Amino acid sequence: MNAAVGSPDERLQTLIAGCAPLSERLHRSTPLGRALACGPLRVKTKGVSRGRAVLIGDAAGYVDAITGEGMSLALKTAALAEVAVAAVVGGADVHAAFGVYATQRQSAFRDHAILTHGLVALARHPFFARRAIARLAKDPALFTRLLAVNNGTRSVLSLGLLAGLKLAIGSSPAA
């Protein structure tokens, strides 16, 4: 079964079954209640503002919590929203000010989203995920550069084609 379809309970059971050590530990356990949510946890919004309300952080949409960058993105978008709100308070047109915010937020979020989409896709293919992890273990500088993309200090384009190919091809995991 695909871990991205079905009820949250079904998706959770599929994910648990795909991880042998966890499955073995939970074999005789009984859930206390039903699963309310189970990844992937992508949230898309129809926009980041409506009227005089503006969304920041995860409320404005996110790809998945896999990389743990929610708080830094929330702080970054809060700072961008603060400028837009101050402009509106100062008399600027709401639609124009929040349009600028939407553009700036998308720019700040883009590289992180591209990287996260890639990681979520990679996680669905254990063979390639193992190879990518093996490559990162052999190339700590590449891992550092990926982290910099994730935290917004580098562009995904700064990785270059060669780094992308190295990650995509990966390395044979150590036996």
- Asked whether the whole model's pTM tops 0.75, one would answer no
Share of the chain above pLDDT 70, in %: 90
Answer whether residue 16 shows pLDDT above 90.
no
Could you report the per-residue pLDDT of 136-173, keeping only the tens digit for each? Answer: 899 999 999 988 888 788 888 888 888 888 887 888 87
Query: In angstroms, rounded to a whole number, what is the distance separating the alpha carbons of residues 105 and 128?
Result: 31
pLDDT tens digits for range 79-125: 999 999 999 999 999 999 999 999 999 988 888 888 888 887 887 78
